[in-house]
Amino acid sequence: MRAYGLLEQLRPGSRHHRPDHARSRRSSKSSVEASFPLSSLLTVAATLDGHARGKDLFDNEDGTEVVTFKSKQVTVKDDDEAEVLGDLTLNGVTKEVTLDVDLKKAGMHPMLNKPTVGFEAETEIKRSDFGLGLYAPAVGDEVEVKISVEASQQ
């Protein structure tokens, strides 16, 4: 069984992309930092939302839990791929994860008339690594995380 979710609120973060380093195939000077309140996670059903925020899973009924990611290293693989190593904090536990990132498009946004980039990233985490292993292994411990981002210059 798969449960999909989306975020209705992403806190302002930072992304620093250095296109002059994109072709270097070495660690770039790009960086990323993002956070979101867990209360903004929406699934396909309100009942599942309540259960996910409840004591059985994220224990976030008061809505205060924030998920954060802060990069430590960006390694450019080619013109449109990179690996981003960073710290993911979830449920008060910080673990190192690697995001596999694909640059989808970079250019002027047709409506905002600002430089804009689109990325997709993915990684896999274990719920139990973050103290969220209830019902594992009956309910899968591995979680695929897929992220789609469009970021425009301020």
Give dist(CA 104, CA 132) in Å, integer. 32
Classify domain 6-152 by CATH number.
2.40.128.110
Rg of the chain taking only CA atoms, in angstroms = 17
* Structure confidence at residue 66 (pLDDT): 84
Distance of CA 34 to the CA centre of its chain: 7
Identify the segments of the chain with pLDDT beneath 70: 1-28, 59, 63
Nearest to 97 by CA among 84, 112, 78, 80: 84
Tokens representing 138? Answer: 């009956």
C-alpha angle with apex 42: 67 to 62, nearest 5 degrees?
60
Within 10 angstroms of residue 38's Cβ, the number of other Cβ atoms is 19
* Structure confidence at residue 95 (pLDDT): 97
* Structure confidence at residue 148 (pLDDT): 84
Within 10 angstroms of residue 132's Cβ, the number of other Cβ atoms is 20
Domain-wise residue ranges, the chain: 6-152
pLDDT digits (tens, 9 = 90+) for 44-74: 788 887 777 777 777 677 767 888 999 999 9
* Structure confidence at residue 21 (pLDDT): 43
